[in-house]
Amino acid sequence: MTLIKVCGLRLHETIHHVGSLPVEYVGFVFARSKRQVTAEEAAELGGNLPDTVQRVGVFVNVDATELKRIAETAGLHVLQLHGDETPEFCERVKRETGLAVWKAWGVRGDQRDEEVGAFAGIADAVLLDNARGGSGVPFAWSEIPRLRAYLKDTKLFIAGGLDADNVGELVNTYRPDGVDVSSGVEKVGLKDPEKITAFVTKVREQQ
């Protein structure tokens, strides 16, 4: 089964809707973004989710002390690191928080992408995204098999410009462990319940 993460939630109505769908993860963005929430807001929103849904915090280059503070306040289960975090930093944060760590990797389509292999066996998952993270634009999916080979058994999530129209092809062709969506389920900057349902339905149809 393909795991599903819906990211960038800020409103109670959307949280209730996502909580009623077969979704494994919900993401809260703590990076500077139009989707940014505070730890306190995330705690309140996340408190309305069923226990089956894990809460993921999205961070860009935040130090370990601040990560810990936000994770505890917001009640996070997973830390998604979207900046220049090293494998050593990921290992340390995993050890000190006891939480799962996902490393987001911006795919550029050049030799530097091979460095993603340094996170294999350290991060609980690697999330491949467009090199401009959170941009809503897909990267070249043809790179997936090459990069997956560097990750060995580490879980692979795909993000970057996914929506209900393209996720079926992605799942069918590349069979990632999970998919992550944000801007593709928005309408004029707000999460759209119909688009979220359409996305989840499309992923589940591929099983």
Q: In the complex, what is the shortest distance from the CB of residue 64 to ligand LGQLAAA5, in angstroms, rounded to a whole number?
A: 18
What are the φ/ψ torsions at residue 177 (nearest 5 degrees)? -70, -30
First-last CA distance in the chain: 6
- 181, with CB counted inside 10 A (0-12, 13-18, 19+), is buried
Assess 8 for contact with ligand LGQLAAA5 (CB under 6 A): yes
User: Mind telling me the catalytic residues?
Assistant: 7, 129
Indicate whether 106 belongs to the interface with ligand LGQLAAA5 (CB under 6 A): no
Shortest Å distance, C-beta 192 to ligand LGQLAAA5: 13
The Cα–Cα gap between 10 and 15 comes to 8
- In terms of Cβ atoms closer than 10 Å to its own Cβ (0-12, 13-18, 19+), residue 21 is middle
Q: Is 161 in the site for ligand LGQLAAA5 (CB under 6 A)?
A: yes
Whole-number CA gyration radius for the chain: 16
Cα distances (Å, whole numbers) of residue 174 to 17, 21, 107, 114, 146: 28, 23, 16, 18, 11
Contact between 43 and ligand LGQLAAA5 per CB under 6 A: no
Nearer to ligand LGQLAAA5, 93 or 162 (CB): 162
The residue from 184, 196, 200, 202 that contacts ligand LGQLAAA5 (CB under 6 A) is: 184
CB-based contact 181:171 (threshold 8 Å): no
- The smaller minimum CB distance to ligand LGQLAAA5, of residues 32 and 152, is found at 32
**Taking contact as CB under 6 A, which single stretch among the options 27-35, 66-74, 86-94, 188-196 is the one that binds ligand LGQLAAA5?**
27-35
Return residues touching ligand LGQLAAA5 (CB under 6 A): 7-8, 27, 29, 31, 33, 35, 58, 60, 82, 127, 129, 133-136, 159-162, 180-184
